[in-house]
Amino acid sequence: METGTSTSNSGNSRNDSYETIKNGSWFNQFRNGCNPWMARYVYGLIFLIANLLAWAARDYGRRALNKVTKFKNCKEGENCLGTEGVLRVSLGCFLFYFVMFLSTLGTSKTHSPRDKWHSGWWSAKLIMWPALTIIPFLLPSTIILLYGELAHFGAGVFLLIQLISVISFITWLNECYQSQKDAERCHLRVMLLATTSYTVCIVGVILMYIWYAPDSSCLLNIFFITWTLFLIQLMTSIALHPKVNAGYLTPALMGLYVVFICWCAIRSEPVGENCNRKAAASNRTDWLTIISFVVALLAMVIATFSTGIDSQCFQFKKDVCSEGEEEEVEEDGVPYGYGFFHFVFATGAMYFAMLLIGWNTHHPMKKWTIDVGWTSTWVRIVNEWVAVCVYIWMLMAPIVLKTRRQRASGT
């Protein structure tokens, strides 16, 4: 009896300790040693270092030529630098997170062996990560190029996960505003945010016409921008349909998202195109180019990190934002899906490789550039169109499913 009581007390004390760490500051999470909140930042740091290694292999790998020639599959360093260097570092990063994905998939309880493996054992991981990074440099080029082809698919999966995460966040934000008790004040906030979003969308479209469609010969850019404007109108019309009644906020925020994707797509067009004056202006490497590259790299790492901890966007049961109606969570449940977290980082490793090589294994990239090339442009454009399709389906799905149920019950 005493043993059972002591076990229960120790379990409660561990849960209380985890709760204290969870509700504490960012510094407190690190100060209290191995825990899942601290671990996610460490994994994010590892991912950032892998990005920097891949960039260094592409832009400054020639300086390490004497070192990489020691690997027999490098052929005097040529196959371990540039595009293949990026792919080899990416493969090592992918292997690390994929091993972590397989070993933590299905973890549901804190203080379990797999939870401890995810949150601790850093000595073993500091050996495993460099080892898995070195192994791809021992592989022949055929395997690396095959991985490069597979990375296109993995990067697409990452973009899809990120897309669903963004749309889920927009929907969640709209539901939070609608669930507030003060309906009048909430309505004013929604209208203000929606109006601001639509204004930014219009300004963004006008600037893209000025910067990237200076004359009538820029037909492709005119099509991209005009079609984006049409998609914003389409999403707004469907959202405001009486049967859907999704309000102004979600189509406005989605409009911001698709305008941003369209801008990124046109920015990815190769330097030297007559319709991309901004790219031509930044042809030389200056501080602005370097800062833009660093910001883009950090943004990609942050996007991977935020998507990785958002496993709830793939759950059918959602949190309720109303006061006093919060979803009950098990005391010893994990704070986020460990398996999903590592899976996102594994696909993110493929994604950063595609950005650094312009989605083309045979496309040379200039220094301090990221996601440049016609392949990158079309990937962004297709991503924009898929985003609109997924958003419209999320609006229409409840109506379609309800109609099918009514027909089934009537027959």
Spatial distance between the Cα atoms of 395 and 100, rounded to a whole number of angstroms: 35
Reported as a single tens digit per residue, the pLDDT across 255-298 is 999 999 999 899 888 866 567 665 544 555 556 566 766 777 77
What is this structure's pTM?
0.78
Q: What percent of the chain clears pLDDT 90, i.e. is strictly above it?
A: 30
Tokens of 193: 């945010």
286 contacts: CB under 8 Å, gap ≥ 6: none
The token duo for 28 is 């407190």
- As a whole number of angstroms, the distance between CA 283 and CA 271 comes to 7
Residue 202 has pLDDT above 90, yes or no: yes
Return the SS3 of 109: strand
Residues 6+ apart with CB under 8 A from 9: none
Q: For residue 197, which amino acid is it? A: S
Q: Which of 341, 346, 334 is nearest to 116 (CA)?
A: 334
What's the Cα-to-Cα distance from 41 to each of 6, 38, 281, rounded to whole Å? Answer: 33, 6, 37
Q: Specify whether the CB–CB gap between 332 and 109 falls below 8 A.
A: yes
pLDDT score, position 329: 47
Secondary structure of 91-151 in HEC code, one letter for each residue: HHHHHHHHHHHHHHCCCCECCCHHHHHHHCCHHHHHHHHHHHHHHHHHCCHHHHHHHHHHH
Fill in the DSSP letter of residue 138: G
| Percent of the chain predicted with pLDDT > 70 | 72
Contacts of 389 (CB under 8 A, 6+ apart): none
Task: Report the run of H or E that residue 19 belongs to, with start and end.
Answer: helix 2-23
Residue 376 to residue 381: CA distance in whole angstroms: 9
* Residue 300: closest CA among 360, 349, 263: 349
Structure tokens at 214: 């200076």
Q: For residue 337, is pLDDT > 70?
A: yes
Q: Any idea which of 165-169, 184-188, 223-227, 229-233 has the lowest mean pLDDT? A: 184-188
List pLDDT tens digits, range 30-87.
445 567 878 888 898 999 999 999 888 887 766 555 555 555 556 555 556 778 889 9
pLDDT at site 129: 93
Residue 18 pLDDT grade (very low, low, confident, very high; cuts 50, 70, 90): low
Predicted confidence band of residue 326 (pLDDT cuts 50, 70, 90)? very low
